[in-house]
Copies of this chain bind each other. A is one copy, B any other.
Amino acid sequence: MSLRSTLDFLLYDWLDAESLNQRERFADHLRETFDAVLDTCERIAREKYAPFNRTVDTQEPHFDGEKVILPQATHDAHKAFVESGMMSAAQDYDIGGMQLPYTLSAAANSFFAMASVSIGSNMLTSGNANLLMVHGTEMQKEVFAKNEFSGRWAGTMCLSEPQAGSSLSDVATRAVPDGVDFQNDPLGPRYRLTGNKMWISSGDHELTENIVHIVLAKIPDENGKLVPGTRGISLFIVPKRMVDAKGELTGQRNDVALAGLNHKLGWRGTTNTLLNFGEGKYPVDGKAGAVGYLVGAPGKGLHCMFHMMNEARIGVGTAATMLGMAGYHASLEYAKSRPQGRLVKKPDAAGAAVAKDSAAPQVRIIEHADVRRMLLAQKAYCEGALALELYCARLVDEQKTGDAQAADDARLLLEVLTPIAKSWPSEWCLEANSLAIQVHGGYGYTRDFPVEQYWRDNRLNMIHEGTHGIQAADLLGRKVLMEKGRGLQLLAGRMTDTIGRAAKVPALAAHAKALGAALQRIGSATEAAWSTGDPADALANAVPYMQAFGHTVLAWIWLDVAQRALQTDGEKARAVTAGKIGATDYFFHYELPKIGAWLNVVETRDPTCTALPEDAF
């Protein structure tokens, strides 16, 4: 099944993406314009991304003392992406955007993630610019956001610091007003920043003439103290090169210095940097301190950031999914062509239990039961995850363009589903990549085949944009509780709706029942976890909770997909439907039963790990 046919089914048959055209914002679109976007992205990914995925792995970014050098292929891929218009796909027509639904944009971007996840880092640039479009001044939009959308400049998000990775409340970068007239700069209230930022993707490169850093920093109080916690965090635009109010470079460097490149396990096409802000290497107007322009209100930095968190996390989930998908496709192709071994057969009365006819020719490995298991697991993980990501993308569109009730429901559903959309593919599509290696046998362990790189690249996704543990604490500690549990109830309602429809289909009735039981158990586990009211008890097993929650969500997604697939007909749809039903059966037989083990410890608030004395480890 090609990615395109999978997307076509999910977008048009399952999510009814075409109906978005009936909304005012998308009224100029037709199925044909959606298809044209998919065609273009598929072609660029095939021509400019896929052939160079190994190149960007082996030719890691390096610093020559002046510049960060990237392979030519990265420049070419960037150029082609910018020319496609995808950087501002979601933006209004009047600023050069396509007013494309996010659902379509997410689907189209999946081609790039599958072809080479690390050659591009456009998600950061468009995320950065999207944030400025919401929270920036008119001038900030004009000067910074628009130049990012046009591809002239690139963007970053500078959150982490060496001592503050997951713990953003410990951000120590300081921003102090720059002169008495700091309020009067046309680009926004002007500050000087000093501090070190770690793990900054695309923090330095020559792909664009400038880089727009969005930086979390704290403004000291009157005593020079930083406010503890996240309340003290403000957001600043810090360009690598100084610009004027017309968006022209002034010729002066800003005081942002590359302190080091991180050398990673994978995802090597994207520069990852340690940046020093304001160390005095590039003084501006004779003074040390990186010039930054305040975005939004002081102390509201995290609030502004969270606005784009859902989309960023759906983006990470999609990247993980597409790495998994790339491995699935590669190993499927390999399994169809590699001869090895023979099938076991029923022995005659005198024979051993397992007999093989060693004079017969070898069979292709896709004929072996265990290889099929490994392939179907990959399909169930990756196509299921893709369906979930697109479902979430569809909710983003609903939140933006639906009626008030639908929009609010979508918002709340997204709150609950986003930790799953981020964490589930990062765990299970990584497992898919491991299975893809296994299908290849020894060959999969060599760098002559692509699957080992997918596996390395994918390992990042459980770490960045909020680790697995952070997602789990967010889910169980915040999301299922917020608004008195209304998000969880909404999700349960959607599941119950699917269960009701599937229960009437003989091929799915048993699955519908199993999902109902799982849903009920999630509900009771949630209550049991919180029954003492002490978050230390409740969150002691937050990750197993999230794993069970995620598997239940994916079972629901598959059941819904399967139910829709059975309504399609015609010979063309036969294999597609059989594949969806097979993956659904796989998920319900092999995967969903795993939730029992995970929920056991949640329900008992198992203290084994928290109680162990430190010297006993």
Where the two chains meet, the residues of A that have a C-beta atom closer than 8 Å to any C-beta of B are 1, 160, 163-167, 169-170, 198-199, 228-230, 262-266, 332, 336, 339-347, 353-356, 358-359, 362, 366, 368-373, 375-376, 379, 434, 437-438, 441-442, 444-448, 452, 455-456, 459-460, 462-464, 467-469, 472-473, 477-478, 481, 530, 533-536, 539-544, 575-576, 578-579, 582, 585-586, 589-591, 593-594, 596-597, 600-601, 604, 606, 608-617
12 CB < 8 A contacts A-B: A166-B341, A170-B362, A228-B358, A264-B447, A266-B445, A344-B539, A345-B535, A354-B473, A370-B472, A372-B612, A372-B617, A376-B612
Contact of A438 among B228, B467, B535 (CB under 8 A): B467
Known: A366-B614, A478-B354, A597-B594. A609 touches B264 (CB 8 A): no
Contacts A265-B446, A437-B463, A593-B600 known; list 10 others, CB within 8 Å: A165-B442, A199-B442, A266-B445, A353-B478, A369-B539, A373-B541, A438-B469, A445-B460, A445-B463, A589-B604
Decide: A446 and B263 in contact? CB cutoff 8 A: yes
Most buried by B among A369, A434, A467: A369
Please judge, given known A-B contacts A353-B535, A447-B264, whether A579 and B167 are in contact too, CB under 8 Å.
no
Is A264 a contact of B535 with CB atoms below 8 Å?
no
Residues of B within 8 A of A448 (CB): 262-263
Q: Taking CB as reference atom, which chain B residue is nearest A167?
A: B341
A interface majority secondary structure: helix
Q: Which residue of B lies closest to A579 (CB)?
A: B616
Shortest beta-carbon distance from A533 to chain B in Å: 7
A229 to B359, CA, bound (A): 7
- Are the CB atoms of B445 and A459 closer together than 8 Å? yes
Give CA–CA (A414, B430) in the complex, Å.
33
Shortest A157–chain B CB gap in Å is 14
Copy number in the complex reads 2
In the complex formed, the residue of B with least CB distance to A358 is B229
Cβ–Cβ < 8 Å partners of A342 in chain B: 167
B368, B441, B530, B615: the one within 8 Å of A463 (CB): B441
Which single member of B170, B477, B582 contacts A354 (CB below 8 Å)? Answer: B477
Given the interface pairs A373-B543, A536-B346, the reply to whether A615 lies near B446 with Cβ below 8 Å is: no
Contact B469 A371 (CB under 8 A): yes
Q: Chain B contacts of A610 at CB under 8 A?
A: 369, 372
**A478: which B residues are within 8 A, CB to CB?**
353-354
B354 near A535 (CB under 8 angstroms)? yes
Knowing A358-B169, A456-B456, A600-B589, say if A536 contacts B446 (CB, 8 Å): no
Residues in B neighbouring A456, C-beta threshold 8 A: 265, 456
Do A534 and B442 have beta carbons less than 8 Å apart?
A: no
**How far apart sit A496 and B16, CA to CA, in the bound complex (Å)?**
58
Smallest distance from the beta carbon of A379 to chain B beta carbons, Å?
6
Task: Please tell me if the beta carbons of A344 and B445 are within 8 angstroms of each other in the complex.
Answer: no
A601-B612 in contact (CB<8A): no
With a CB–CB cut-off of 8 A, which chain B residues contact A372?
609-610, 612, 617
Question: A346-B533, A596-B596 are known contacts. Are A452 and B340 too (CB-CB below 8 A)?
Answer: no
B375/A163 in contact, CB under 8 A: no
From A482, which residue of chain B is reached at the shortest CB distance? B353
- Give CA–CA (A542, B165) in the complex, Å: 42
Closest CB-CB distance, A79 to chain B, in whole Å?
Answer: 29
Return A293 CB to nearest CB of chain B, in Å: 26
Task: Decide if A539 touches B582 in the complex (CB within 8 Å).
Answer: no
Inter-chain contacts of A340 with B (CB < 8 A): 163-167
A444 and B463 form a contact (CB under 8 A):
yes
| B534, A262: Cβ atoms closer than 8 Å | no
**B609 and A373 form a contact (CB under 8 A):** yes
Whether A464 contacts B442 in the complex (CB less than 8 A), given A167-B341, A372-B610, A437-B459, comes out as: yes
Q: In whole Å, how far is A74's beta carbon from the nearest beta carbon of chain B?
A: 20
How far apart are the CA atoms of A347 and B481 in the complex, in Å?
A: 15
Verify A264–B542 contact, CB threshold 8 A. Answer: no
| A570 smallest CB distance to B (angstroms) | 15
A344 pairs with B536, CB closer than 8 A: yes
- Name the residue of chain B whose CB is nearest to the CB of A430: B434
**Assembled-state Cα–Cα distance A615/B332 (Å):** 11
Partner of A370, one of B359, B462, B469, B586: B469
Kindly list chain B residues whose C-beta atoms are within 8 Å of the C-beta of A606.
Answer: 589-590
Contact check, B228 vs A590: say whether CB atoms are below 8 A apart: no
Among A164, A359, A373, A593, the one with the most B-chain Cβ atoms within 10 Å of its Cβ is A373
From B264, B362, B542, B617, A379 is in contact (CB under 8 Å) with B617
> How far, in whole Å, are A442 and B265 apart by their CA atoms in the complex?
10
Whether B442 contacts A459 by the Cβ 8 Å rule is no
Instruction: Determine the chain B residues whose CB is within 8 A of the CB of A359 once the complex forms.
Output: 228-229
Contact A586 B609 (CB under 8 A): yes
**Chain B: minimal CB distance from A179 (Å):** 31
Residue with the greatest number of chain B CB neighbours at <10 A, chosen from A165, A376, A481, A616: A616
Q: List B contacts of A530 (CB < 8 A).
A: 353
Asked if A608 and B593 make an inter-chain contact with CB atoms under 8 angstroms apart, the answer reads no
Shortest distance between the CB of A453 and any CB in chain B (Å): 9
How far, in whole Å, are A566 and B531 apart by their CA atoms in the complex?
33
